[in-house]
Amino acid sequence: METKVIFYILAAAIFGASVLAVSCRQAVHAALYFIVSLLGLAGLFFLLGAPLLAALEVILYAGAIMMLLLFVIMMLHTDRRDRELYRPPFWTVPVLLSLLCGAALVMLLARWPQAAELLPSAFFSPGQFGQVLFSRYWLAVELVSLLLFVALVGALYFGGREIKAARLQPGEGGDS
């Protein structure tokens, strides 16, 4: 019973924070609301039987990635143009259509007879998770580490090229 209450609270938090994350006008507020949504998502992962993933969602996603995003937002002055994000005559028809599609989706899924009970074996302790990850999926782990290395090299390339160009022309571009 308590799990259900926690689930409803988490789902409401995820919905509200996601709506605010895509509709807030300032980028910092949108990023903070998205962090709230990620925290709710971590709670949902915990309810779904993945405590390690819930912790990683908070540490990696909300902690590392979104902090990087917030640093970039604060470094660039982005809120220069203070204009209306959603003008009413533009978004009424799309919102109505998507509400229709959403209602159809809910009705379709509610009629689906299977999958009403939890699998008993789906809970994973962090130790089991790590053993399965590094024994059966070692190749994927290596590929992901290669991908992260490529991302690091790409980010250094995009950043370092501009630094080299600024060094060649010391009079221009020194403010960035």
Interaction residues for another protein, span 135-154 (CB under 8 A): 136-137, 140, 144, 147-148, 150-152, 154
Please select the residue that binds another protein; options are 109, 169, 170, 171, rule is CB under 8 A.
109
Answer yes or no whether residue 41 interacts with another protein by CB under 8 A: yes
**Cβ atoms 70, 28 nearer than 8 A:** yes
Q: How far is the CB of 4 from another protein (least distance, A)?
A: 5
Q: Where are the beta strands (DSSP E) in 53-115?
A: none
The one among 96, 100, 162, 167 contacting another protein by CB under 8 A: 162
Contact assessment for residue 30 and residue 24, using Cβ atoms and an 8 Å cutoff? yes
Token pair recorded at residue 51:
């405590």
118 binds another protein (CB under 8 A): yes
Closest approach, Cβ 158 to another protein, in A, equals 4
Q: Answer left, alpha or beta for residue 117, where phi above 0 means left and psi between -120 and 50 means alpha.
A: beta
**Closer Cβ to another protein, 96 or 118, answer by number:** 118
Whether the CB-CB separation of 47 and 54 falls below 8 Å is answered with no
Query: Between residue 47 and residue 106, which ones bind another protein under the rule CB under 8 A?
Result: 47-50, 52-53, 56-57, 60-61, 64-65, 68-69, 72-73, 75-76, 78, 80-81, 83, 85-86, 91, 94, 98, 102, 105-106
Which of 88, 89, 93, 115 is close enough to bind another protein by CB under 8 A?
115
| Helix, strand, coil percentages, rounded to 5, for the chain | 75, 0, 25
In the list 88, 89, 122, 139, the residue contacting another protein (rule: CB under 8 A) is 122
What distances in angstroms separate CA 61 from CA 98, 113, 135, one per listed residue? 29, 35, 25
Residue list 2-31, contact with another protein (CB under 8 A): 3-4, 7-8, 11, 14-15, 18-19, 21-23, 27, 30-31
Put residue 46 in one of left, alpha, beta given phi > 0 → left and psi -120 to 50 → alpha: alpha
